[in-house]
Chain A
Amino acid sequence: MLKPTDTRNPDHYHRVVDCQWGCPAHTDIPEYIRLIANGQYTESYLLNRKSNIFPGILGRTCDRPCEPVCRRVRLDGEPVAICRLKRVASDLRDDITGFLPTIPEEKNGKRIACIGAGCASLTVANDLMPLGYEVTIFEKLARPGGLMWTNIPEFRLPAKVLWEEIDYILDMGVDLRLNSSIDSLAALLEEDYDAVFIGSGAPKGKELNLPGRWDSEQIHIGIEWLESVRFGHIDSCGDRVLVIGVGNTAMDCCRTAQRLGASDVKVMARKTKPYFKASPWELEDAIEEQVEILENHSPSRFIIEDGKVVAMEFDLVTWTPGENGRLKAEVHDSKIIECDEVILAIGQDTAFPWIERDIGIDFNKWDMPIVDKTTFMTSVPGVFMGGDAAWGPENIIWGVEHGHQAAISIHAWCEGRPLTDRPPEGMNLISQKMGLHEWSYSNDYDEAERVKMRHVDLQERFKRLDIEVEEGFDIEQTLTEVERCLNCDIQTHFEADLCIECDACIDICPLDCLTITHNGPEEDLTQRLTAPLLNYPEEPLFISEDLPQTGRIMVKDEDLCIHCGLCAERCPTAAWDMRKSDLLVPYAGLEAGEMHPGMSIMNLALNGGSADGEPAGPGAALTGAGAG
């Protein structure tokens, strides 16, 4: 017998919001999309900023783990352009500085040191500054931003966007020390800090130790090469460039080479396309720029003449499934490909030469520091770690989420509370009924296909390094794309005691999500549903209490519900209702749902933009009324 679902546990409805569940920072995606639909770009930006800190940056560069899991994929094959819509909010917002949290003049007396000014450390500062902490960030380089600045090329992320969002944080009064490499953690720990956060990233590009590697200046490590380009140390490159590796770094390298004058850029892949590490959209963009990608080429040596690389030799391989599911390479030929320059883009590692191994920080057998997955603390009390430094290269949004969690820990640490007591999430449920057949949101299913991003003309974009390729959505594209969102946070909420088992909801549901049947063992019950289960248990079932008239149960397969609200409209007793589930996420010093003084988005959203809104108390929620 399956037990009734406890919908008071925030996780149940949160899971239904596939994108938000997939976003490491739990960004309230459907709500921000509705705000955009409603022309409330500033509100949408602020709602984004609450969880992901960098809406403008992420609206262009995010790894978007939310998109492949978007419900829309399961319906028409293409996710909502969640990331591009984020950019719309950022592009069209008004000045938001008035809505940033006010920083207390009187400090709380606690001093925090952050190592590295990447997204992880910046998030820690963002979360702690409003609480009265004094945060110092030590950065090795001459500018903050970490890889967002040094490695993500400007044709993907304009500097203006980057600096603006970094400045929102620095302007809170962060003590940023540039050109300040930390060369000894022991020495830093000697200083008078209450906690240390290590956000130093994974700065070491992987090597390819093949014959000839060290005999030419024209063989580069990808991330170092991109950094040199960024700082202007490199402003040209050879005609024929080979990029080794086919991950996202390789994509940025090959596209940068194109812009530095290369006319023949080849990306050399050891395997075939299904195994490429690069995100599909980055691959697409590189291919659009006429970069050639060669599969099944395994590098074997560099060919050097007069101290210059002139070619590389590759084994031509085929892959066959070997033991334990791993692919086995079989060499059947070799090939020499001429080139003037080689860029190695085969991965990154962390490196901690500056952490003394006798100060108590435990390292594992791969020489990675051991960090607690919940508290983000290392084995030295008061020393925390997050971002790429903690468990190897990830992406910006993970770095941000690590920063939030580490900030919660640091705050607890400084207040002497146990770090393992994580503040709980909350959930508000608010009916969206406006009238007999009227909902606060656009409940119809729009059959529009995913809107295609327009790109700057090929000729034009190669003129300079800093021409942003993606043009962003115009209003028409935006209005089309927002309607593709299925409002998965507007939940079908069921009250069993009201149901008279008339079957109206079962009959109307376009996706056959609903079943009234007798309870039974899981294996049996799951065979008796109106439509076959396709993604169970990843997509949950809702199981009701026993129905009053027959003692049967209502079962809902959440998998494909399009949140059209027809079940609720056709229900004569309002046993089904459409309710917005508002996930309330805690941050450092803020209980779930609480907001900083001066950052009351709720007031802003509801009162049309008064900057001096009252702080909203715990449990305050966005209602999203009027969207769509």
Chain B
Amino acid sequence: MSYIKKPRVHHPGLTRNRLGLTRRDYEGTMSTLCAGCGHDSITAAIIEAFWELEIAPHEVAKTSGIGCSGKTPTYFLKEAHGFNGVHGRMPSITTGAHAANRELVCIGVSGDGDSLSIGMGQFAHVVRRNVDMLYIIENNGVYGLTKGQFSASADVGSTAKRGQVNREHPIDSVLLSLNLGAGFVARSFSGDKEQLVPILKAGLRHRGFALIDVISPCVTFNDHRGSTKSYQYTRDNYNQLVYADFVPPAEEIAASFEAGDVRSVQMHDGSRIAFRKVPDDYDPTDRDQVYGYIRERQRAGEVATGLLYVEEAPQEGEHSDFHGLQATVDEPLSSYPFEDLCPGADTLERLQERFR
């Protein structure tokens, strides 16, 4: 943290998006996390992604649970709606928010402890329900906020700051969510915004549940030798498996890179994800193959990163996201008058009467 606020003065060359906003307009308050925390870089990447997508902050709901990661929504989009919920319960809160207003752009920020330890049940079900949200796990292998205990994502054999060795098997959120049917699964690294920002943009545009597990070193409790979530370890074992670019609806894919090695996946709103430099035998839309590939890379000691799996957008009218599954109305429920949403005690009475 710092005693001064980040001054508002900015570079005169700062560009404005179509809403007339600069990147600086997407910031939140000053971070109070440790200097050098990976979470802060993810915050910066989130700011960049929202600004580039030209999403108005007030159309966004940002939610989180408890942990250093849980604090981060305060540090971006100060004009967005926000809810900092109970430990591990961010998924239900987001589900509620999105149920009420399906037009909200939902982003939930969680930690490896928040999602894979205390919030494991909630996490599993929000994936199954396919709530239309971007779910970020800021994965540092420890409970940062409570001073560095191993979390459920700590690898076997990795050591804590004072030398204790972890012997419990890790939960891998990427493999887990592939298993649970997630339609968008990615892994990235806080120290690689070039990779992270396009994935964030694609994740925000994906209709349905999108998971991005971001390796995010805890400089204070898990950046030592023996850690498998440190800056150094991540860089040494980094494998950028797939390069994915996010291409908004209006743009030509070829404009951004060589057309030859492109495989493009259509998203529901007409934007596309363009994969390049994907291994020959890798199909990012084949769930089983992706699962196998990631396992194989893990056995080789690599951290496979990139937008690893994405399903092709279903045909119009076939959406299997939360609202599609519930067959709710197209208009946000929050736009209906209270009387229409809650017909009142009399109606309930009459309804119950029919079953007596």
Q: Which residues of A contact B (CB under 8 A)?
A: 74-76, 437-438, 443-445, 447, 500-504, 506-508, 510-512, 531-532, 534, 549-550, 560, 562, 564, 566, 569-573
Contacts and interface: CB of A to CB of B under 8 A. Distances in A.
Contact of A508 (B6, B190, B223): B6
Given A549-B235, A566-B2, A572-B34, A502 B11 contact: no
Contact of A443 (B4, B24, B40, B235): B4
Contacts of A438: 3
B29 to A, nearest CB: 13
Contact of B219 (A75, A445, A502): A502
- Greatest chain B CB density within 10 A among A438, A502, A534, A572 is at A502
A507 B27 CA distance: 11
A573 B37 CA distance: 12
B35 interface: yes
Contacts of A562: 7, 9
Given A500-B231, A504-B35, A511-B11, A566 B6 contact: yes
Contacts of A550: 235
Nearest to A445: B7
A571 B2 CA distance: 11
Contacts of A501: 191, 231, 235
B14 interface: yes
Contact of A570 (B7, B36, B38, B191): B36
B219 A572 contact: yes
Contacts of A75: 9
A283 B41 CA distance: 50
A534 B35 CA distance: 29
Nearest to B217: A502
A503 B190 contact: yes
B13 interface: yes
11 contacts: A74-B12, A501-B191, A503-B41, A504-B37, A504-B40, A504-B41, A507-B41, A511-B11, A564-B4, A571-B35, A573-B36
B299 interface: no
Contacts of B24: 510
B195 to A, nearest CB: 13
B7 A507 contact: no
A534 B13 contact: yes
Contact of A504 (B5, B13, B36): B36
A405 B346 CA distance: 99
B52 to A, nearest CB: 15
Contacts of A511: 9-11
Contacts of A510: 6-10, 24
A504 B2 CA distance: 13
B1 interface: yes
A562 B6 CA distance: 11
A531 to B, nearest CB: 4
B298 interface: no
B17 interface: no
Contacts of B40: 503-504, 507-508, 570
A527 to B, nearest CB: 13
B231 A437 contact: no
A570 B13 contact: no
A567 to B, nearest CB: 10
B14 A564 contact: no
B104 interface: no
A570 B4 contact: no
Contacts of B191: 501-503
B95 interface: no
Nearest to B220: A572
A333 B333 CA distance: 78
Nearest to A549: B235
A373 B41 CA distance: 52
Given A502-B219, A531-B14, A570-B2, 20 more contacts: A437-B3, A437-B4, A445-B7, A445-B9, A447-B7, A500-B231, A502-B38, A502-B190, A502-B231, A503-B191, A504-B36, A511-B9, A511-B10, A512-B11, A512-B14, A532-B13, A534-B12, A562-B7, A569-B35, A572-B35
B9 A76 contact: yes
Contacts of B41: 502-504, 507
Contacts of A437: 1-4
Nearest to A75: B9
A572 B36 contact: yes
Ranked 7 nearest A-B pairs via Cβ: A572-B36, A445-B7, A507-B44, A502-B36, A444-B4, A531-B11, A532-B13
A434 to B, nearest CB: 11
Interface string B217-259: 1010001000000011001000000000000000000000000
A488 to B, nearest CB: 15
Nearest to A533: B13
Contacts of B13: 531-532, 534
B310 to A, nearest CB: 26
A439 to B, nearest CB: 9
B7 A444 contact: yes
Contacts of B10: 510-512
A16 to B, nearest CB: 17
- Greatest chain A CB density within 10 A among B11, B12, B34 is at B11
Nearest to B3: A437
B319 interface: no
B312 to A, nearest CB: 34
Contacts of A572: 34-37, 219
Contacts of B1: 437
B142 to A, nearest CB: 16
A570 B44 CA distance: 14
A566 B9 CA distance: 13
A560 B14 CA distance: 13
Contacts of A532: 13
Nearest to A438: B3
B11 A507 contact: no
Contacts of B34: 572
- Greatest chain A CB density within 10 A among B5, B8, B9 is at B9
A74 to B, nearest CB: 8
A438 B2 CA distance: 9
A551 to B, nearest CB: 10
B43 interface: yes
A472 to B, nearest CB: 29
A228 B66 CA distance: 82
A507 B45 CA distance: 9
Interface string B105-127: 00000000000000000000000
Contacts of A74: 12
B2 A569 contact: yes
Contact of B7 (A531, A564, A571): A564
B78 interface: no
A571 B12 contact: no
A79 B217 CA distance: 42
B322 to A, nearest CB: 33
A566 B3 CA distance: 10
- Greatest chain A CB density within 10 A among B8, B24, B40, B190 is at B40
B8 A447 contact: yes
A564 B3 CA distance: 11
Given A76-B9, A534-B12, A500 B2 contact: no
B128 interface: no
B193 interface: yes
A564 B5 CA distance: 10
A483 B12 CA distance: 21
A562 B193 CA distance: 25
Interface string B26-50: 0000000011111011011000000
B26 to A, nearest CB: 12
Contacts of B235: 501, 549-550
A502 B7 CA distance: 21
Contacts of B14: 512, 531
A138 to B, nearest CB: 53
A508 B41 CA distance: 9
Contacts of B6: 508, 510, 566
A536 to B, nearest CB: 12
A569 B235 CA distance: 24
